[in-house]
Chain A
Amino acid sequence: MSNFHSVNLREGLCNGCTACVTVCPTEAVRVNSQKAEIMTTRCTDCGACLRACPNHAKTGRVDNMKDLDNYKYKIALPDPAIFGQFAPDVQPERILGSFLSLGFDEVFDVATACDLVSKKIKEKIVKTNHPLISASCPAVIRLIQALYPDLIKNLVTIEAPLEVAGQLARKKAIERGLDSEDIGIFYISPCPAKVTAVKRPVARKKSSVNKVLSIVDLYGNILKFANMKNTKTLQLKASGKGYGWARAGGESLAVGAYNNVVVDGIEHVTKVLGEIEIGKLPNVDYIECWACVGGCVGGPLVVENPFIARVKIRKKAELLNNNVQSSGIDKLDHSIFEWEEEIKPRQIMSLDNNMTVAISKGKKLQEILSKLPGYDCGACGAPTCRAHAEDFVQGSIQSTRCVFKK
């Protein structure tokens, strides 16, 4: 099931308005019989459609708290984006501590892994293909696989903090005598893309993380526990820069990239990747690309407005030690940082593997397209007239249904 993706439709809430259809960067959404459908082969889980839906019909396919019951020892891995979600008087130490009240046995702060990963990326910047593209947003990786496959070689081949945190948390628990089978590692995610990164990793066979919960689902309970007197507090161990990874630009700051570009929002990311592809950014060393506006603080599965969350994270980070905390990194087994497998291109738009067949299908497509008005209005349920013609040529619809057809 390599086509797994984690954006889900709550059918009852969808009224077929097509708002989600036009925002998808890989043209993966169609509306058929008044309901949105996602083409699993094309979806990159960027979450653009979740955000665009006025009826909140799209959600992330996440696990739930009941899954805690399946493990003897439960470790929570909160994404740093969580610290931008609460009012300034909710202390980060109490946010971390609230996971113990929620039923977890241990909390492993992903920001500490951000510190370690920053150090590893810094080493790469000195010696690899430029520009180096950050591999931290899984939606961006999948977009590159699909639309900019030749840029795969520019991706930083370092595991994302979430995976590193999972590996470390498991290792440490095993060292303390726990059985790997009994350990349940729960990542607390801002987005569906990271759910997919766990369920179907691109650069390894299996993730060390077992389950993924969303920030939005836990929000109410965290708030409740964080405000209760007897909730434990847990010390913050990462640097301000580690926590800063939650916002766009934070990663570059932490890795000390100087000639860098930060891009957020999937439509801007596609534009900039296109420019890198044709060689227009020759003097840039590092490019941070985030599918969400503001970075992960703006993920589709969070609560706070990205612009406000961003300021909150920045202010919290400023109060902390600003030196990346990487002491002890040399004692670690460095394979936890490396990709296990090469990332492969995904040809998602191809009409056929055979050139001659693809050419004749392409001609048919152009012929149909010449009869469509070119309004790209979405009324037929496809994002563009071209996509609609393509659906017909590929046999997924039996007739074109353009309301404006001449």
Chain B
Amino acid sequence: METLKVVWQVEKMDFTRAGEGSSKIKKMLHQFSIRPDIMRRVAIISYEAEVNLVIHSFGGVLQGEVFPDKVVVTAKDKGPGIEDLSKAMKAGFSTAPLEVRELGFGAGMGLPNIKRSADKLDLQSSEEEGTELVATVYLS
């Protein structure tokens, strides 16, 4: 099956570029006749996933892939892994350092927002392998 993909490298703590990968993904979505609410959900997921990579990871890759029936956003990082997954999913829980929160990021809404916007969310994390987030939004 043919798919269309955008892949974007995210550097740790590089706030000047935070959001660029997700805007590339959004640009790609504009090439399709996708329902506005779906487009917005993917925009939220990819932005939050990208910001998570910037704040919490040692760097990683953000990817958006369009299938005929769905859009899949993947964020894979090089660690350090999420200590307590169920805690991280709770709204308002954040491990972002104070400097980051002062910038207005890291309010602990990232994962809950992603979860709310995705139809399906897979999250795997370990100290050795890092974290891989796969969020799926169906097109109909």
List residues of chain A with CB under 8 Å of any chain B CB.
147, 149-150, 152, 274, 277-279, 345, 347, 349-353, 355-356, 358-363, 365-366, 386, 390
Cα distance, A355 to B68, chains bound together (Å): 5
1/0 contact string of B65-87 vs chain A (CB within 8 Å): 01111000000000000000000
Query: Which residues of chain A come closer than 8 Å to B31, judged between CB atoms?
Result: 349-351, 358, 361-362, 365, 390
- By a CB distance below 8 angstroms, the chain B residues around A353 are 33
Q: Is the CB of A355 within 8 A of B69?
A: yes
Chain B hits for A347, CB < 8 A: 33
Contact B68 A356 (CB under 8 A): yes
Main secondary structure of the interface of A (DSSP, over half): helix
Partner of A150 from the list B3, B32, B36 (CB cut-off 8 Å) is B36
Whether B113 lies near A350 (C-beta < 8 A) is no
Q: Are A278 and B4 closer than 8 Å at their CB atoms? A: no
Please, which residues of chain A bring their CB within 8 A of the CB of B48? 278
CB of B53 within 8 Å of the partner chain:
no
Interchain CB contact (< 8 A) of A149 among B28, B39, B44: B39
Asked whether, in the complex, the Cβ of B33 is within 8 Å of the Cβ of A362, the reply is: no
Q: Whole-angstrom distance between the alpha carbons of A361 and B66 in the complex?
A: 13
Contact status A274-B113, CB under 8 Å? no
Which size class do B's interface residues fall under? Answer: 20 to 34
Binary per-residue interface labels of chain B (33-63) against chain A in the complex, 1 for a CB within 8 Å, 0 otherwise = 1001101100110011000000000000000
What is the CB-to-nearest-CB distance from A193 to chain B, in angstroms, rounded to a whole number?
Answer: 22
> Is the CB of B126 closer than 8 A to any CB of chain A?
no
Known: A359-B66, A359-B68. A277 touches B33 (CB 8 A): no
The answer to whether B139 has its CB under 8 Å from any CB of chain A is yes
Given contacts A359-B4, A363-B2, 10 further A-B contacts (CB under 8 A): A149-B36, A150-B36, A277-B40, A345-B36, A351-B32, A353-B33, A355-B66, A360-B2, A362-B4, A390-B31
Q: List 9 A-B contacts (CB under 8 A).
A: A278-B22, A278-B40, A349-B30, A356-B68, A358-B33, A362-B31, A362-B32, A363-B2, A386-B27
User: B82: shortest Cβ distance to chain A, in Å?
Assistant: 22
Q: Which residues of B contact A (CB under 8 A)?
A: 2-4, 22-23, 27-28, 30-33, 36-37, 39-40, 43-44, 47-48, 66-69, 113, 139
Q: Cβ of A366 and Cβ of B43 under 8 Å apart? A: no
Q: Across the interface, do B30 and A350 meet the contact criterion of CB distance under 8 Å?
A: yes
Q: How far is the CA of A219 from the CA of B28 in the complex (A)?
A: 45
Q: Are B40 and A150 closer than 8 Å at their CB atoms?
A: yes
> Chain B's nearest CB lies how many Å from the CB of A165?
32
Most buried by A among B22, B33, B67: B33
Q: Is the CB of B69 within 8 A of A150?
A: no
CA–CA, A274 and B69, complex, Å: 25
Q: How far is the CA of A359 from the CA of B29 in the complex (A)?
A: 10
Q: Which residues of B contact A150 (CB under 8 A)?
A: 36-37, 39-40
Q: Are B39 and A358 in contact (CB under 8 A)?
A: no
B32 contacts A350, C-beta separation under 8 Å: yes
List residues of chain A with CB within 8 A of the CB of B22.
278
How far apart sit A345 and B113, CA to CA, in the bound complex (Å)? 25
Taking the closest CB of chain A, its distance from the CB of B37, in whole angstroms, is 5
Q: Which of A274, A362, A365 contacts B23 (CB 8 A)?
A: A274
Instruction: A350 to B29: give the CA distance in the assembly, Å.
Output: 8
CB distance from B101 to the nearest CB of A (A): 15
Q: Nearest chain-B residue to A349 (Cβ)?
A: B30
